Structure 1
Amino acid sequence: MKSDFFKYQAQTTPHPLAMEISHASGSYIYDTDNKAYLDFVAGVSACPLGHNHPKVINAIKAQLDSYLHVMVYGEYIQKPAVELTKLLANNLPSSLEKTYLTNSGTEAIEGALKLAKRATGRSEIIAAHKAYHGNTMGAMSIMGYEERKQAYRPLLPDVQFITFNNETDLEYITTKTACVILETIQGGAGFIEPQEAYLEKVRNRCDAVGALLILDEIQPGIGRTGKLFGFEHYNCIPDILVTGKGLGGGMPIGAFTASGKLMELLQDNPKLGHITTFGGHPVIAASALATLKEITESNLMQQALEKEKLIRKLLVHPLIKEIRGKGLMLAIITPSEEITNSLILKCQEAGLILFWLLFESKAVRITPPLTITNEEISKGCSIIIKALSTIED
């Protein structure tokens, strides 16, 4: 299997971890030698209820018995998608009332950018340095990391970049700007939170010049920060909200949400303003609906903030320079890339899954399932401390 993996499946890095998976349950993933790995990554924030959560699995199985794909997006009434979008609206500010379901977060970003251009009649997009919004051509155009995109130019024109948390840069948002797109908490950059009412100031500037504000909640959304969406911490409501990852409960999904008035612009002049074959797939929508119900009807979001406190209490070591983030979207910052690499690999050997961030080479991702227990957190943190104690600065 390993040789076939390298021979037939396209790779994204020269050295993938190449652990062969047998099964997964709760907070654990098992390899084909039946070794258990405590999962502190949750599929890069995509499995908020852990692995094989019974409510998610039962929802998927029930939908399998009814129908799979029947028609391209938006033509037929399919109960799972309707109930999912209604539940989202019921848990969002009134201005965010209608949702377009897609196959992935990056596809939702593409739809959001198109909608902003269509609504404003403007072409300029403003994004942030060290931003990551996905890897399709439009999403890559607003990636604030030249090293990752230089090989694929030319990309979208008329994209400008500002520095996250830099209030002075807001002057670059003008009447030429169609939209400003920001991650509510910068992910690939190292889990950078907005400071000093930064998002409020961006919101006010957008309002002043008639630009739309798009917030990318693909990572912080779906309860991970202790609120259903990260923007709820920062007194800032976007014009367009983008989500993905955790919404699917382990299934592939994306979504962008806006007012009904904005969303109507995709229906006409031209018709089929944004189309997809498999967006809103009934099986995936059923999984997402079960996930969203469990998160909104339980106390998992409140627990996320308590679990953050426990992690911060337990992860004290000279080689941990800082812990960034909020809730269960956390990153350890070590003194060097070499220490980070060593820590992640040593912990995997010891049965704990950690992972990297895209752009901050000294960061170690800690994004476990929201369902992780305090005992499992203590176990994982103990493995981290033991591993750090074997590493020399």
Structure 2
Amino acid sequence: MSEPDPTLPSHLRLRARGTASNAAGRFERETRERFDDGWDLTEEERLLRTEVREEVPRSALTYNRSPDLPFDRSVNPYRGCEHGCVYCFARPSHAFLGLSPGLDFETRLIARPGIADVLARELRAKSYQPGVIALGTNTDPYQPVEARYGLMRQILQVLCDHHHPVAVTTKGTLVERDIDLLSVMAARVQAGVGVSLTTLDPDLARRMEPRCPSPARRLQTIRRLADAGIPVRVMISPLVPGLSDHEAEAILEAAYEAGARRATCIPLRLPREVSGLFQAWLSHHYPDRAAHVMNRVREMHGGRDYDPDFGRRMRGQGLWADLLKARINVALTRLGYDRSPIPLSLEGFRLPSRPGDQLSLF
């Protein structure tokens, strides 16, 4: 994590958190600042723990029209993510809840029990047209809290019953729990899993992604998924220029050896509040190269910390982006990666029968 935020109470103790800042979100009218009131009162030190609130979901499917994304709909069973990745592009979404994209994002989570039932209802709507549903597009559906709630298991069961295609993205090894469902769906050409692997360096991973499984453990997950016949894509996202970009080829080699046959790579992007959080983390952990890393990031985003324009935001631009793309292409060809997307079929979609339904005569 970065240097402690002076706005945090001094008695709070942080352990394995991606950031130490809890600055107010961009929509808040007020900000908080600590000051000495002259009372010399000792407060008991307390470890900051993760809190989970529950939300009654009114809808399950979220649609998008982004030309940068290979899907147009997704389901998010959780808001916020305990993995605490300091670079996470989803952090700014917590500001819409009146919470901080900093510590609140990784310590004040929202679970959405009942979302599988809502999804089943939406899939049965007469107007529904099937399309690949993406899971894990905002926050990780297999973050630690999933072991308690099991929402992903319920969602996958609904999709399996409907013969509906799904694409899962995760860093969490809890996905192995659902291999039985995913393997059945994969046999129908209706499931694929993307495993995010940003570095092979366990020390860098622990600092940058404090509550994620280790790189070696994620490689083991890739192997177990692949051995079960589930198509696996390794996602080197984000690749941090000047910090982890030298590992690109080694990550691709390790993932291919583990069973991944497709790969994507996205350079670091720092939307909104993420930029300040990442820069504070970088200055604390890697002060000797902080300026170099940010200069390279800006070179890849047109001189800005982040270029939000479609077509560039997830690829970067300029010399360094072109060199990275060329390196990745050479490695993909040398290793034998498949350049096509994981094939997912829409043809088998059907509505499962329910108690009381009239059976068809044909």
Q: What is the TM-score with the length of structure 2 in the denominator?
A: 0.29
Larger helix proportion of the pair: 1
Comparing both chains, which one has the higher relative contact order based on Cα–Cα distances under 8 Å and sequence gaps of 6 or more? 1
Q: What is the TM-score with the length of structure 1 in the denominator?
A: 0.28
